């Protein structure tokens, strides 16, 4: 429908402009008209890719084409250099800036500096203001007119949000003056918190070329009426968890879409005008198969078939590295995948994890044992799956660092029988045993308890036991404790009550509460941020929003605290140690506070 509307709309607008009907078409819209089909600088002939690359390095890394570091002069003649001076440090990767603290860091995206509208993925994404009468005479319905009006409101809101209405647009000369002398396009002195940079003309030209492309386009995966999302599932994932996760994500999106359709119906009936643009959310399930070295290819094929705006939640027991690297390489956000083995790389941008997974658990346990004054023999037994190996490696390091003594470590290649455990428990009397075992092996700890009266205490990972409630019954014993990186059941239940009620109302049975709550968390966080991002549809802005807002909006989650700072990628940072008094959730008794290693 919109494809039909577009050319007509242009004609109407042009005739209005030519007729000079004052007040009807604002300067804003004239600017808009002239840039609707503007090609991004990156694709303009004459803008060399290497020029953009130079600009990008200045902006993101603070490195000049000579290889020397960028230098800036901050207040009180403080010299900033390299990453500290890089524009990204304040204006962020998206260029939308931020308003943390007392200083407003202004947006410097291509459109906000140079006055261009976001270049739509499809031309019909841009709609604009016109008066309903004119539209009617052009054969457009009131509903269509309302929808176009909504587009104008959207543009005005985005513009107000981005600050472009507060000043005229920049050109290259004005930009250079702002960067060199700290004087903005209106002649106002910029706050000294914007550093001054003595850039050479060619450096300035590269930086300006880069800024012209910055957040110029709506991110892929967003079309005129749809936003595409994916959720990635590793092979070998428990089908019950997979179904539980998909049901929550699908229901959440259906719910949202239903609300949207209601809005459109009300709009068509003429009772309301849309105040922002609505798009259907579509979920794609990216099931992976085969060995992990083939996953990148599979992901690329999925993304070619249908690009997505972001990956939401996801499941897997093996290392998340192939998906993490795909997300980083293609600059596609991956929000809260449910994984035991995240990639521990603080400098990466596009994947945001719930926690550091097994590494967090291992470090929390080492901290706990050390603070308890544990001085006897500590032995860890672990499976040869990736999660267990990661945990054992992290525990070895943390324990050795804390005590100067390495734990005894034993890897299991085969599933051990009862005799193995009996022998083990006799080998080192009064041992404190740490078991990093996949769920199917975990219940075997029972054999150990039966045999090993010598064992002082056994520590298990709650994450590795996910979905193994029966396992918990088997191991309930006064000498069994769990590393429990989420909130205690009683507290958690109160917090997630609303989410539970939502699931109940939608007919979703609680088949795997942890996976479901985490899926719900990922969906609500993305939902909230997309709604609040003023139709910018920038993947980078989405991630910056998560950094900024997570933990401030009373998210319903199973974790006691969630927070991220700029550049942080692990939202929940601690763990409890609990005693297993019995198989029920309420029989988990904390023996530690919230440990943040």
Residues lying near ligand HEC in the complex (CB under 6 A) are found at 85, 87, 89-91, 103-106, 108, 163, 167, 175, 178-179, 184-185, 190-191, 193-195, 197, 207
> 56: how many CB neighbours lie within 10 A of its CB?
18
What's the min distance (Å) between Cβ of 166 and ligand HEC? 8
Asked if 286 and 313 count as a contact pair (C-beta separation under 8 A), the reply is no
Q: Which of 443, 459, 315 is nearest to 380 (CA)?
A: 459
Token pair 């291509």 in the structure block, residue: 110
Alpha-carbon gap, residue 224 to 304, rounded angstroms: 19
Q: 17 or 74, CB closer to ligand HEC? A: 74
The residue behind tokens 């052009």 is 138
Nearer to ligand HEC, 179 or 508 (CB): 179
Tell the smallest beta-carbon distance from residue 57 to ligand HEC (Å): 11
Cβ nearer to ligand HEC, comparing 178 with 580: 178
Name which of 69 and 296 has its Cβ closer to ligand HEC: 69
Residues 6+ apart with CB under 8 A from 260: 278, 279, 280
| Residue with smaller CB distance to ligand HEC, 91 or 444 | 91
Using CA atoms, how far apart are residues 196 and 182, in angstroms rounded to an integer?
6
State how far the Cα of 282 lies from the Cα of 100, in Å rounded to an integer: 33
Per-residue tokens: 558: 């199973």
CB of 402 to ligand HEC, least distance (A): 38
Let me know how long the chain is. Answer: 597
Which residue carries 């990972």 as its tokens? 461
Nearer to ligand HEC, 185 or 443 (CB): 185
Token duo for residue 368:
């706990």
The answer to whether 530 and 542 have CB atoms below 8 angstroms apart is yes
Measured on CA atoms in the order 93, 97, 99, 104, is the torsion positive or negative?
Answer: positive
CB 65 within 8 A of CB 32: no
CB 315 within 8 A of CB 323: no
CA distance 158 to 155: 5
- For ligand HEC, which is the closer residue by CB, 79 or 275? 79
Nearest to ligand HEC of 89, 213 (CB atom): 89
User: Closest distance between ligand HEC and the C-beta of residue 84, in Å?
Assistant: 7
Smallest gap from residue 143 Cβ to ligand HEC (A): 37
In whole angstroms, how close is the CB of 165 to ligand HEC at the nearest point?
11
Least Å distance, CB 175 to ligand HEC, is 6
Closest distance to ligand HEC from the beta carbon of 158 (Å) = 15
CA 505, CA 525: separation in Å to the nearest integer? Answer: 20
By C-beta, is 104 or 497 nearer to ligand HEC?
104
- What's the min distance (Å) between Cβ of 331 and ligand HEC? 21
Neighbours of 6 (CB within 10 A): 16
């Amino acid at each position: 429908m919109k494809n039909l509307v577009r050319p007509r709309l242009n004609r109407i607008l042009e005739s209005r402009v030519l007729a000079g009907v004052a007040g009807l078409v604002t300067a804003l819209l004239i600017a808009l008209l002239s840039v609707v089909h503007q090609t991004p600088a990156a694709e303009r002939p004459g803008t060399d890719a290497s020029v953009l690359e130079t600009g990008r390095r200045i902006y993101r890394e603070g490195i000049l084409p000579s290889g020397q570091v960028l230098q800036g002069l901050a207040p009180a003649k403080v010299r900033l250099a390299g990453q500290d001076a890089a524009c990204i440090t304040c204006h962020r990767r998206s260029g939308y800036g931020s308003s943390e603290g007392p200083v407003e860091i202004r947006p410097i995206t291509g459109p906000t500096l140079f006055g261009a509208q976001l270049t739509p993925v499809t031309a019909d994404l841009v709609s604009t203001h016109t008066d309903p009468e004119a539209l009617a005479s052009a054969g457009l319905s009131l509903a269509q007119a309302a929808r176009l009006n909504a587009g104008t409101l959207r543009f005005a809101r985005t513009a107000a949000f981005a600050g472009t209405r507060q000043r005229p647009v920049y050109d290259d000369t004005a930009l250079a003056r702002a960067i060199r002398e700290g004087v903005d396009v209106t002649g106002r002195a910029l706050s000294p918190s914007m550093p001054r940079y003595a850039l050479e003309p060619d450096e300035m030209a590269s930086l300006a070329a880069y800024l012209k492309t910055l957040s110029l386009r709506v991110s892929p995966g967003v079309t005129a009426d749809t936003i595409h999302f994916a959720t990635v599932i590793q092979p070998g994932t428990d089908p019950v968890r997979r179904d539980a996760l998909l049901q929550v994500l699908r229901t959440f999106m259906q719910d949202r879409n239903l609300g949207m359709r209601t809005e459109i119906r009300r709009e068509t009936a003429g009772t309301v005008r849309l105040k922002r643009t609505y798009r259907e959310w579509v979920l794609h399930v990216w099931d992976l198969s085969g060995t992990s070295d083939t996953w990148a290819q599979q992901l690329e094929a999925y993304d070619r078939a249908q690009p997505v705006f972001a990956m939401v939640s996801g499941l897997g027991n093996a290392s998340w590295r192939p998906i993490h690297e795909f997300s980083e390489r293609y600059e596609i956000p991956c929000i809260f995948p449910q994984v035991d083995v995240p990639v521990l790389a603080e400098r990466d941008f596009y994947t945001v994890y719930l926690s550091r997974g097994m590494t967090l658990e291992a470090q929390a346990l080492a901290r706990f044992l050390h603070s308890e004054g544990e001085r006897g023999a500590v032995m860890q037994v672990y499976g040869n799956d990736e999660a267990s190996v990661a945990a054992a490696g992290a525990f070895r390091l943390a324990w050795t660092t804390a005590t100067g003594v390495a734990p005894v470590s034993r890897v299991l290649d085969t599933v051990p029988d009862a005799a193995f455990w009996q022998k083990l428990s006799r080998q080192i009397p009064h041992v404190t045993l740490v078991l990093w075992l996949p769920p199917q092996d975990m219940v075997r700890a029972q054999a150990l308890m039966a045999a090993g009266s010598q064992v002082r205490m056994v520590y298990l990972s709650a994450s590795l036991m996910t979905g193994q409630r029966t396992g918990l019954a088997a191991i309930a014993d006064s000498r069994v404790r769990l590393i429990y990186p989420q909130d205690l059941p009683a507290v958690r239940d109160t917090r997630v009550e609303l989410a539970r009620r939502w699931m109940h109302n939608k007919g979703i049975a609680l088949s795997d509460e942890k996976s479901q709550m985490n899926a719900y968390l990922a969906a609500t966080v993305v939902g909230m941020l997309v709604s609040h991002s003023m139709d910018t549809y920038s993947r980078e802005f989405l991630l910056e929003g998560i950094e900024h807002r997570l933990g401030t909006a009373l998210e319903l989650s199973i974790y006691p605290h969630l927070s991220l700072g700029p550049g942080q990628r692990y939202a929940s940072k601690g763990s409890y140690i609990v005693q297993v008094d019995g198989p029920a959730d309420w029989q988990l008794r904390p023996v530690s506070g919230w440990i943040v290693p």
